[in-house]
Structure 1
Amino acid sequence: MDSHFLDGHYRILKVLNDGEKGKTYLVEDANLAGSQFIVKQLSPRSSNPQSLTILRSLFASLAASLDKLGQEHDKIQKLIAYFEENEQFYIVQEFISGNPLTEEIIQGQPLREDQVITVLSEILEILVIVHSYGAIHRDIKPANIIRRESDKKLVLVNFGTFNEAITNIGDNIEYMPREQVNGNLKYNSDIYALGMVAIAALRGLPANEISNLRSQKNKLTGEIVWREKNIKVNKKLAKIINRMVRLDYRKRYQYATEVLDDLKKLTNVEQDQQKQDQKKLLLILAGVVGCITLGVGAWQLRLPKPVSDAQQKLYQEGVNKYQAGNYEGAVEDFNQVIKLDPQNALAYNRRGDAYYRLGDYEQAQADSSQAILLNPEDANAYFDRGFAFSELGKYKEAIADYTQAIKLNSKNAYAYYGRGLALAQLKNNKAAMGDFSKAIALKPQSTEAYLQRGILRRRLRQRLEAIQDFDTVIKINPSDARAYYQRGLTQSINQQKYVALKDYTDAININPKYIEAYLNRGDVYSDLGNQVEATEDYNTILKIDPKFIAAYIHRGIHRFSFGNYKGAIEDYTEALKLDTNNVVAYNNRGNAYLELGNKKAANQDYSRAIAINANNALAYYNRGVIRTKQKNKQGAIADFQKAAKLFKQRGEQDSYQDAQREIAILQNNSAPAPTTRPKSNNY
């Protein structure tokens, strides 16, 4: 391959793509030492002489247009040459050293809004030039947007013009709008594709996920539904993107300049704010002494030097409303303070705390970030943002913020506590234990740190030490229901069921709506054979919260254990009404159907559980039991083998041996009835 030359002087170094439309090569020009280019080979579908004559003329015209575009804009891949060889068409293009946008849009790692706006703006500026020359790119997708290594600018490559003209095959089905698929190409077809790129970036979706996204449409309008509850996007930016990807091209932006104008309006607000910030010389230095998650109500306030009496009054009213639990009112007051003084770092800090209480963790993080920007030495702003990051599941970012807070204030027990929580989420148990212990050393009355250290110790099977931590919490605060509940869980694991019952009861007496305490007390009652008491606990939960799925499943398990199979089926069915993909409910309902002799219904439930989760070992095992009863020997063996493999992977040795025993019986005998009962998901 290396010895082969195209057009007599382009030495092939590497085949980059070998597809239906043709091939793409990385080549070196033998006449220009060290120069590398991209060569695309396009294979016409017809070899008819008349068709080839037409294509040659079209090919030359398209090449001339692309050559002009490359000369006009340095962010458009340049055309170097074009030629025909053995009735194959070739274009030689500039090689852009850099990485495609596919390496920035990574699954589960959404880009920030400002990054997405930058991508949109850079590509739209290129499209303005492209469209002004009467050209349409036709193939905008992350793979065709390269971040140039030399200056980190985005470059648009691989125009689809040649592909569709020569091969009559369109590319980019995932990002392509309906009118383009139907052959009715418009200038704003490029705008649609770019809008889909923006959605992919905001969602953290790779190319293979875009097809699934396109199927998520509003039933009434047919428009793509891309904003999920856990995705916080500026409403104005979302509005722009929605208009870019409208299904009907007539309702879409018509020109790239229109999109650019709206994006500039969006960013101008932030730029004006920054200009105002730069005019201020004094930053407000203040700190939060208190822990959002710990519920410490008192703030040690260091008010900034008031610009006006009105500002000071508004600020204090916001603090008062926060302390009274009126978080919406507090946000409104802090909004007014910030409007009067956009550099009031403390107001951003306090408003972030209120947003945190309201569950708006994205906004809480944004406010803490602004407070840090205004005052980089504010340890509590890092601390607050750490908690916001933790709630958003960004534990590494949270740990970095807690660490910075500790650097700025090494005596902040709550920063160690928060970092311990984040470390525990990442399973860094040793470091988490050290942070909880440090928090306790700095603040010996810190019940939260004792509580979390106890939970971690139980996870590490240090149960006696865990109980000691819960005992300490109760000693410090005898009204902490959570400590009784956690101690009850630990005692239950230690098979100290009656002691556990007392702890759960104490937790319920302190908090009569403690659902988890009722649930676990009900389970202990059920294990002890106290049928009435267990049922009462499950019923109480459903009175408090009729949609608490676990209560139906646990009551179903309880009823099953006492032979009330019809009652169990009713409970599992209710759970499935609330969650149609609950594999535990399907598996356990299958067991109840089997006890009533309804093999068909049982088999359907086990199969449904497997369809939802192909790694559900219990469902395979139980379907193996059904197939054994149905004398489907090979099917039963296959299911037991799958179950055995999954049990072994999970380290469930007893269940693995059960499955192996069933396989041995089936292989050595003529499929007798299974020796073990179907298995239930305990909880």
Structure 2
Amino acid sequence: MNSDLLDGRYRILKLLNDGEKGKTYLVEDVILPGSKFIVKQLCPPSNNPQTLTILRRLFASKAATLEKLGQENDKIQKLIAFFEENQELYIVQEFIPGNPLTDEIIQGQPLREDQVITVLSEILEILAIVHSYGVIHRDIKPANIIRRESDKKLVLVNFGTFNEAITNTVDSLEYMPIEQVNGNLKYNSDIYALGIIAIAVLIGLPANEISNFRGHKNRLTGEIVWRHKNLKVNKKLAKILNKMVRFDYRKRYHSATEVLDDLKKLTNLEPDQQKQHQKKLLLVLTGIAGCIILGVGAWQLRSPKPVSDAQQKLYQEGVNKYDTGNYEGAIEDFNQVIQLDPQNALAYNRRGDAYYRLGDYEQAQADSSQALLLNPQDANAYFDRGFAFSELGKYKEAIADYTQAIKLNSKNAYAYYGRGLARAQLKDNKGAIGDFSKAIAFKPQHTEAYLQRGILRRHLRQRLEAIQDFDTVIKINPSDAKAYYQRGLTQSLNKQKYAALKDYTDAININPKYIEAYLNRGDVYSDLGDKLEATEDYNTILQIDPKFIAAYIHRGIHRFSFGDYKGGIEDYTEALKLDPNNIAAYNNRGNAYLELGNKKAANQDYSRAIAINPNNALAYYNRGVIRTKQKNKQGAIADFKKAAKLFQQQGEQDSYQDAQREIAILQNKSAPAPTTRPKSGKREKN
């Protein structure tokens, strides 16, 4: 081996840094002449063989993740290789010609607001990808953000992951939040550091003054005070920055995408609030936004481009508007392209995607169909139309389209995923699980496929397998609140109440507005007899959404459980104000009235539930209890018989036996296996 070369191939051109943790070199690869790289030497704290063995494993694991990250996105510095030499660890990284962001921060010369927003958006988009892989950068600072010379794009470099593996410390204390200093690193620790950078560039503050600036805090709240009377800043932008740098990480933004959403609203790039809410709900329920973007990208690579300059310009303007969320504007541009060239299949496809994002699934389906008429071999047009059919409830048609897409492109993970969703809707559980498994095989990081497969497995009572799927999602993306929530539901079914509590709490910590997690955690607390904790969870839901009916019903059940029947009645009555046809509220309020001895009111509530839904078994059963107390023997028997028949049809064997037992008692016959006869009716949560 040539002693002048690192790893026998890297010739040192320049020593870039010589610090306590190791050295950084600019090198040339002699095997690939002219290829320049960055080599970083990382010095282990000990030469103990056992320590080195542990570090090698940790090092290799982290290197593999970063290597994949760099391959997935060209705005993340690529990890080329890693090696060990003389008991010292080295990493080889991509050399990116350009200038660090420090060169753009000049004392007394602040950047414009639009420039700051652009910088924030670019880095947040990168962080969203980084965090989705379960990686935290750990060392966000201007020196680690490079303005690439070739295209002027910002690139994120020098992840602190390896420093953490070796020494568990980071140098840049001026950008580091308190939880990171204390070793309690969070994903939004990166968001804090980026917020500090944004404020610094907005003020025109050099790095050497950051520490002093962070010392200016509100005495009451402890939050950083950075706006002075001579600094004119958009109030909404200031609000975003303040939330990024909150002292308490729990009050900070919890994900990069949350910050991006608020920045887009600030720049009027998002639709109105109602459409935004619909879009978020759509993404939560189907998890297909990424599928559409990737599908469209592949379509664009395979399809002919518009031929004239006018078409090309209009088309590109439409794409740009689509990419920024201005779907109405994108549709206008694609309309003009289609007017110029009615045979432009790509314009129909992109316009259909825009209609899809706006919730106009009929038009999205029509545009995909037109694209297929013009290009019958386009797998992604079938794929897009499949999702439109799914949203229209036409699951058989959707399955046919996904199947055709798979025939044309057998490795399309998203087509398998979409077909799995449609098959699940049609109760083809075996087929759906097979499709989700195929999607995972082609895309092992497809968290939504794991999530949906886990949910389906839980429904099929394959609970251990379901938990394994949710575990995998959390391993891939530890900040996926849905995975913790779904695992919590599964733990609850397994009677693992404390494990469920932990999962619901983790979901809430990631998403403090996760209503369903509060609801289920409240139910577990209630089952455990933790009266105050349960009440607090239900109250929190109603603070977030005062019109969330289930919170009133569940809080009413909780109050009923410890004898607060009047409180229960108040909650059920509030639920009925919001939904006068809520059967659960009538059933449960009837139970509370029954406990208070108000048989007339109880009977009215049960009868009202039956009038709304003549097939509601619980209401018949509960009214049977009332009629028994009222000595109305024939009426009670009729109600219990009706309840028994419905319970049997619904497969609720225990309740069926209860109803049969009541009939036997009333008919003076020998009752089935003895049990305690209920003092009041059966309760209903939903």
- TM-score, normalisation: structure 1: 0.55
Rate the CA distance shift 1:488–1:470 in 2: closer, same or farther, 3 A. same
Counterpart check, 1:568 vs 2:568: yes
1:579 and 1:291 map into 2 onto residues whose CA distance is: 32
Structure of higher CA gyration radius: 1
Query: Partners in 1 of 2:331 and 2:513 — Cα distance?
Result: 29
Counterpart in the other structure of 1:243: none
Residue of structure 2 equivalent to 1:548: 548
Aligned to 1:610: 610
Cross-structure match for 2:297: 299
Paired residue total: 391
- Secondary structure of the residue aligned to 1:546 is coil
Counterpart position of 2:681: 678
Partner of 1:465: 465
**Secondary structure of the equivalent of 2:297?**
coil
Q: What does residue 482 of structure 1 align with? A: 482
Tell me whether 1:597 sits opposite 2:597 in the alignment: yes
Q: 1:291 to 1:522 in 2, by over 3 A?
A: closer
Deviation at residue 513 of structure 1 after TM alignment: 1.6
Show the 5 A alignment for 1:295-444.
296=293, 299-300=297-298, 301-302=300-301, 304-444=304-444
Distance 1:680 1:440, change over 3 A: same
Q: Residues 295-332 of structure 1: CA distance to partner in whole angstroms, max 9, x if unpaired?
A: 65683433743343332222222222222223223222
Give the Cα separation in 2 of the matches to 1:543 and 1:616.
31
Q: Does structure 2 conserve the Cα–Cα contact (< 8 Å) formed by 1:348 and 1:370? A: yes
Q: Deviations over 1:607-637 (max 9, x none)?
A: 0111111111111111011111111111111
What CA distance in whole angstroms lies between the structure 2 residues aligned with 1:515 and 1:675? 32
- CA separation of 1:295/1:540 partners in 2, compared to 1, >3 Å: closer, same or farther? farther
For the 8 Å contact 1:603–1:623, the answer to whether it is kept is: yes
Amino acid at match of 1:311: Q
Three-state SS of the structure 1 residue aligned to 2:667 is helix
Aligned to 2:259: none
Distance 2:347 2:551 in 1: 43
Letter in 2 for 1:529: G
CA distance in 1, matches of 2:393, 2:290: 15
Gapped runs of 5+ residues in structure 1? 1-289
* Structure 1 residues 321-362: Cα deviation after superposition (integer angstroms, max 9, x where no partner): 222223223222222222222222111111211221221111
For residue 681 of structure 1, what is the amino acid of its counterpart?
Answer: E
Deviations 1:130-154 (A, max 9, x none): xxxxxxxxxxxxxxxxxxxxxxxxx
Contact residue 629 and residue 674 of structure 1 kept, 8 A: no
Question: Alignment partner of 1:506: what SS?
Answer: helix
Instruction: Calculate the TM-score normalised by the size of structure 2.
Output: 0.55
Structure-2 separation of matches of 1:461 and 1:367: 41
Greater relative contact order (CA < 8 Å, ≥ 6 in sequence) = 2
SS for the counterpart of 2:614 is coil
- Corresponding residue number in structure 1 for 2:517: 517
**Deviation readout 1:251-308 (Å, 9 max, x if unpaired):** xxxxxxxxxxxxxxxxxxxxxxxxxxxxxxxxxxxxxxx9546465683433743343
Q: 1:307 to 1:644 in 2, by over 3 A?
A: same
Q: 1:608 to 1:431 in 2, by over 3 A?
A: same
SS at match of 1:336: helix
Partner of 2:506: 506
Corresponding residue SS for 2:580:
coil
What is the letter of the counterpart of residue 400 of structure 2?
A
Contact 2:416 2:439 in 1 (8 A): yes
Structure 1: how far apart are the matches of 2:445 and 2:453? 14
Provide the C-alpha distance between the structure 2 equivalents of 1:418 and 1:398, rounded to a whole number of angstroms.
8
- 2:154: which partner in 1? none
Residues in 2 aligned to 1:545 and 1:353: alpha-carbon distance in whole angstroms: 31
Equivalent pair of 1:365/1:385 in contact (CA under 8 Å): yes
On the 8 A contact 2:458/2:466 being kept in 1, the answer is: yes
| CA displacement, residues 216-273 of structure 1 (integer Å, 9 cap, x when unaligned) | xxxxxxxxxxxxxxxxxxxxxxxxxxxxxxxxxxxxxxxxxxxxxxxxxxxxxxxxxx
2:339 aligns to what SS in structure 1?
A: helix
Bigger Cα displacement from structure 2, 384-393 vs 353-362: 353-362
| Structure 1 partner of 2:654 | 654
Amino acid at match of 1:624: G
Question: How many Å separate the matches in 2 of 1:372 and 1:573?
Answer: 53
Quote the Cα distance in structure 2 between the aligned partners of 1:319 and 1:543: 40
Residues 636 and 305 of structure 1: CA distance in aligned 2, closer, same or farther (over 3 Å) = closer
Structure-2 separation of matches of 1:658 and 1:414: 47
Report the Cα offset of residue 680 of structure 1: 0.5
Percent sequence identity over aligned pairs: 86
Corresponding residue for 1:24?
none
Amino acid at match of 1:299: G
Report the Cα distance in structure 1 between the residues aligned to 2:413 and 2:325, rounded to whole angstroms.
24
- Kindly provide the amino acid, as one letter, of the partner of residue 682 in structure 2: K
**RMSD in angstroms over aligned alpha carbons?**
2.0
Give 4+ residue runs of structure 1 displaced > 4 Å after superposition: 293-298, 673-676
SS of 1:299's partner is helix
- Distance in 2 between the 1:418 and 1:634 partners? 53
Q: Secondary structure of 1:401's partner?
A: helix
Tell me: CA distance 1:402–1:345, structure 2 relative to 1, closer, same or farther (3 Å).
Answer: same
Match of 2:451 in 1: 451
Structure 1 position 676, deviation (Å)? 4.2
Between the aligned partners of 1:305 and 1:383, the Cα distance in structure 2 is 20
